[in-house]
Amino acid sequence: MTQELNDGLPAREAALNLIDAALSRRGGIDEAASANGFRFLEPRERAFARALAMAVLRHLGPIDRALAAKLQKAPPDRVMNLLRLGAAQAFHLEVPAFAAVATSVELAGANKTSRPFKGLVNAVLRGLLRDGQPADDPALLAPPWLYARWVSAFGEATAREIAAQIAQEPATDLSVKPSADVATLVEALEAEELPGGSLRVRRKGDVAGWPGFEDGTWWVQDAAAAVPARLLTIKPGDKVLDLCAAPGGKTLQLAATGATVTALDRSAARLKRVDENLERMQLTAEVVAADAAVWEDTRTFDAILLDAPCSATGTFRRHPDVLWAARPSDVASLATVQARILDSAADRLKPGGQLVYTVCSLEPEEGEAQVEAFLARRKDMALEPIAPGEGGAPEASLTARGTLRLLPHHRDGGQDGFFAARFKKL
């Protein structure tokens, strides 16, 4: 083993921990990446570890199918993850094949659980390399139960287009303060301006070093995630409530309109990020830690944005671990929570006020079905149809009902999956 290969072992070990966290539902990659063992790596090692883990998760279905053909029975989890890591390095990252195999074998020997399987790791990975890279069949990129749901909801052709986005590494989208010089930013960041005003940036690296970050000119927010807040008609001074606000991208959008914004979330820890972003952007909002369904506050608001807790299946482009952590039962249980918060939001809305309900989910129970059930029980609320192209949404995302079903393939270069509906209080 050369010194060069040894230098990459800590990052690969960290990647194994990230993969294990993602697949065992232990908080996912983001939580694992905040652990001390990960944070103490050098920045270059952290970036490499994350890239390794993401490559595994983006291509997990095809990799597992190729591995299954080489294995008579499933090995221990660590060994399986080592095989996945080796395959992802060889087929999806610019890692020489010999290094992908050698480092995987070295890591196998460094742990008592995997040490007896060094020979297996070596033989299986070499066999995969002889066979060549497995095709990324879209039908294999998502968990079978989830892909079947997408076929049922959208049809086979659309399900394949959605799933094909799983393997794609996304660009970084930015939302910009209204006072910003967009033309200067586009040039400085080599960005593309999207409908609605988001900027799409394809550069890599730490965003904190990009032009405009320190000045509080922009914040990171997917182009689809930026659409729902734009659907509210807000005047300076309007009282606006952002429910389930963390991590705060939509709060910043609302505060930038000049509205008096209250940002509420049940997680005080996540609200610290909202406070930090407001400070950097030199914007203000009242930040409240409370459960949106039972918040004891009698105020009413001119406009409310509810980005409800959901299965988050639409966020797989940046968080592929959500696909493998989700369970079929999650959708039904979350739909119950969403209905309760929707009713609470409607109660807090002034007559004539607007309520936008949105979820970063691809599941109809959390979107379309939620809207119909809400309208059936709330005769004081009416659907306010969204216009074609409104908020910067692709026209393909507009439904016949006047809601938005933002699918990942509806925008060139992809976008997160969202559902959004707008209501008016009678």
**Are 248 and 278 a contacting pair, CB within 8 Å?**
yes
Catalytic status, residue 244 = no
DSSP secondary structure string for all residues of 225-265: TTHHHHTS---TT-EEEEES-TT-HHHHHHHTTT-EEEEEE
DSSP 267: -
Plot region of 262 (φ>0 → left; ψ -120 to 50 → alpha; else → beta): beta
User: Residue 393 is encoded by which pair of tokens?
Assistant: 């949404």
β-strand pairing of 239-243 with 301-307? parallel
Handedness of CA 330, 336, 338, 340 (dihedral sign): negative
Torsion-angle region of residue 413: left (phi > 0), alpha (psi -120 to 50) or beta? Answer: left
For residue 352, the SS3 value is strand
* Pair 393, 386: CB distance under 8 Å: yes
Tokens of 163: 């799933």
> 104, 87 in Cβ contact below 8 A?
no
- Whether residue 245 contacts residue 263, with contact meaning beta carbons closer than 8 Å, is answered with yes
Residue with tokens 């499933």: 74
Closest CA to 257 of 229, 221, 299, 225: 229
Of 248, 229, 259, residue with least CA distance to 404: 229
Cα Dmax for the chain:
72
Q: From CA 150, how far away is CA 362, in angstroms rounded? A: 8
Q: Which of 14, 360, 420, 421 is catalytic?
A: 360
- Identify whether the C-beta of residue 154 lies closer than 8 Å to the C-beta of residue 397: no
Which residues does the annotation mark as catalytic? 360
